[in-house]
Amino acid sequence: MSEALLATEEKQSAYRDYAAPQRVDGFDTVREFYRLNHMNQTYDFVRAKKAEFLQFNRRTMTPWDALDYLNTLVDDSDPDIALPQIDHLIQTGEAMRANGEPEWMVLTGFIHDLGKVLCLFGEPQWAVVGDTFPTGCAYSNKVVWSEFFALNPDIKRPELQTKYGMYEHGCGLDAVQMSWGHDEYLYHMMKPYLPLEGLYMIRYHSFYAWHRENEYQHLCNAQDDAMKPWVQRFNPYDLYSKNPNRPSLAQVKPYYEDLLAKYLPGELRF
């Protein structure tokens, strides 16, 4: 990893420290975020949100319009950053570019949080951001703030609380109803445009219980196992490129304009 753009190893342990957030208002914000998230993300909620949002019938926007909107959003679930999202996306893409990662991956890094425009449609942050987890089966205690699952109504549905729940051994993550948010939403939007590796990065980048803690392997199939290293390769760029120094959009915009035009249509359906 390039030291200029990514945090050094000693500093990396300072990220994702939920007990010592960097935001002035951080502690209660992040904890309250996960209380609401774990309480409300039920199996039925996820399926209802997919039916609602995966029709992509709300509006069309250029990728830049969507990025402009993201500039106004600060993510309540993130203890590491209180910067506009566009800066995080530029930092992620630039760290990849500096390390010589493939072009499609730089693009993936640059757009990976674009699904947070769900907030534009009035969705609360607990239904958009934060770590994701499978619904419809037993919760792993490796999910951040897993104690809040006690507040989820699914905890009282025994059929959803066995190891496999609604699923079968090796069914594949595609069959699993992940908690709903920007990851799943953008994955479906980008399906026609990115290679499978990039799609996995987008869809599972917040699934830390899987890509970091190696939980839920019993639900995975061969494709998930093959793609997991790519999700893990993506993660340090998402985490450690966060830096309070703002990169200049003007400097890098021509490069990303070309990249977006090469892979994506002029307008996207949201």
The residues of the shown chain that bind Fe ion, judged by CB under 5 A, are 113, 238
Nearer to Fe ion, 167 or 230 (CB): 230
CA distances for 102 relative to 93, 195, 197, 234, angstroms: 11, 11, 11, 12
Residue 92 is encoded by which pair of tokens?
Answer: 């992620």
- Least distance CB 93 / Fe ion (angstroms): 11
CB of residue 242 to Fe ion, shortest distance in Å? 8
Which one, 83 or 160, has the nearer CB to Fe ion?
83
Give the residue ranges of DSSP H helices in the chain. Answer: 9-12, 26-40, 43-53, 63-70, 85-98, 103-111, 182-190, 196-204, 208-211, 222-240, 249-263
Rounded least distance, CB 78 to Fe ion, Å: 8
Cα 75 to Cα 27, 59, 71, 131, 132: the distances in Å are 13, 23, 11, 12, 15
Q: Based on CB atoms, which residue is closest to Fe ion, 132 or 177?
A: 132
User: Residue 160 or 211: which CB sits closer to Fe ion?
Assistant: 211
Listed in sequence order, the residues at least 6 apart from 23 whose beta carbon sits closer than 8 Å to its beta carbon are: 29, 30, 79, 82
User: Shortest gap between Cβ of 38 and Fe ion (angstroms)?
Assistant: 17
Q: In this complex, which beta carbon is closest to Fe ion, that of residue 113 or of residue 197?
A: 113
* Least distance to Fe ion, CB of residue 113, Å: 4
